[in-house]
Structure 1
Amino acid sequence: MYAIITVVKVGMMVTYNIGTGLVVARREDSSWSPPSAISSCGIGWGAQAGGELTDFVIVLRSTEAVKTFDGTAHFSVGAGLSAAVCAIGRAAEADVRVGDGGCAACYTYSCSKGAFVGCSLQGSVMTTRTRENCRFYGSQSINALDILLGSLPRPPAAAILYNALADMYQKLEWSSPY
């Protein structure tokens, strides 16, 4: 189960970030759920300066972690270390997510580009883009849990996402020593 989000971060000592992305969950039959839209904004403080564009993959290791994306909003508090020069950059973060959908620890992988260096304490608010989900799925009563853990069919518009996930899992199985 993953949340995939692209975030722009800028500042010096105090940084501001904003981003948007998708959450997708692995079902019991090993198929992928339809995607649910999310957005994020936050602030960080520490020894840092510059601007960067980062693609995050947040690994949601349990159903409880997926449920944190069901509520109206959830908060993330953590620490991070980041460096980016042109198209080469990395960020390492650890955080805890808490909201009206529950709480869970998550792992985050990322790739960055820009001109940025720093370490910081940071917090962000992540929200479900309910209006976008309602528009995409054509239902005013749909919520993120219906999308991620329900039995909605996979939308054809997400075929590129499903192909990328299948390619990733195929590469992981191919490189596994077992």
Structure 2
Amino acid sequence: MSNKRPDRTTMEGMIWNANHVLDKALDPKTPGIPRGMIKNCKGVILLSMAEAGFIFSGTVGSGVIIAHNEDNSWSPPSALSVGGIGWGLVAGKEVKDVIICVMERGNVDTLSAETQVKIGGQLSATLGPVGREAETSLNFNGTSEIRGTYAYTWSKGVFGGISMETAVLKVRPKENARFYGKESVSSKEILENTLAAPKDMGVEDLHYKLDLLSKGKALVLTPAQVERKSSMRNLADEAGVLAKSVQTDVMEVDADEEVA
């Protein structure tokens, strides 16, 4: 299967990339995320961030946030931007895939507000422990030991914890409205399960993989899953082309110029 990533300025592309991030976390060759971390979190943020070039340029990116409900189900995804988003010339620079486990519902509510939230300012995302059995060293009884936001990254073939101190996250209400087919929709509505996600857009795959993570499972993609991933990538690219004429929060940038 091609390693090419789709346009990630649309929800279709961001959902594809979120599934891609989870594939990395579920790979049996990686240490994985502690199952208790996913089981007890109140939300998960799945991002694609770049320091320069590739699809994005500068320290920018995009992604989704998904709330974890009391009944252990997952909400539909809400669109986020990191700093700002854009597409430009492919320069082959580093892309980081990031998973952030949000351990408090109040922080999920903060992240669903349509204002900028600074990681390291309003929120603190610290190094997350790795290893599917690592929860034995944590306290998941609501003590301050897990009262925070924990970040993991996949970069240059290495999966592990990172500390995020400068990222600025913001909800993308217009992209949410486009994807959910409504004139207006708030991130709060999405994360509180008041509307359903469009069918067969990869959201069901996200929920399935998050459930696997919460059980400490690993996943090796079957040929059918690989083919589906390829089809979803093509769908995301098509959505990106169609959305460019209506997107107002996306800027075109020259990656080489940004690097210089």
Give TM-score, length-normalised by structure 2.
0.46
Distance 2:163 2:103 in 1: 25
Aligned match of 2:117: 74
Moved >4 Å (runs of 4+): 119-122
Q: Secondary structure in 1 aligned to 2:178? A: helix
Structure with more strand by fraction: 1
Does residue 1:151 correspond to 2:194, yes or no? yes
Q: Quote the offset at 1:8 in angstroms.
A: 0.5
Tell me the CA shift for residue 170 of structure 1: 3.1
Query: Which of 107, 111, 117 is equivalent to 2:154?
Result: 111
Aligned 1:1-178 pairs, distance under 5 A: 1-10=43-52, 16-41=58-83, 51-72=93-114, 73-77=116-120, 94=126, 105-113=148-156, 122-156=165-199, 157=201, 158-171=203-216
**What is the CA-CA distance between 1:109 and the residue it aligns to?**
1.0
Secondary structure of 1:29's partner? Answer: coil
| Offset, 1:58 | 0.6
Contact map agreement 1:56 1:110 (CA 8 A) in 2: yes
Q: How far apart in 1 are the matches of 2:168 and 2:206?
A: 24
**TM-score normalised by L of structure 1:** 0.65
Alpha carbon RMSD of aligned pairs, Å?
3.1
Q: Is the 8 A contact 1:33 1:152 kept in 2?
A: no
Higher relative contact order at CA 8 Å, sep ≥6: structure 1 or structure 2? 2
Q: Measure, in 2, the Cα distance between the counterparts of 1:34 and 1:126.
A: 18
Distance (Å, rounded) in 2 between the aligned partners of 1:120 and 1:34: 27
Counterpart AA for 1:159: E
**Percentage identity across paired residues of the two chains:** 31
| Deviation of the 1:121 alpha carbon | 8.5
Distance 1:20 1:121 in 2: 15
Structure 1 residues without counterparts, runs of 5 or longer: 43-50, 79-92, 96-103, 173-178
TM-aligned CA distance change 1:168 to 1:71, over 3 Å = same
- The offset of 1:31, in angstroms, is 0.9
Structure 2: stretches of 5+ with no match in the other structure: 1-42, 85-92, 128-146, 218-260
Contact 1:56-1:108 within 8 A present in 2 as well: yes
CA offset at residue 77 of structure 1? 2.5
Aligned length: 136
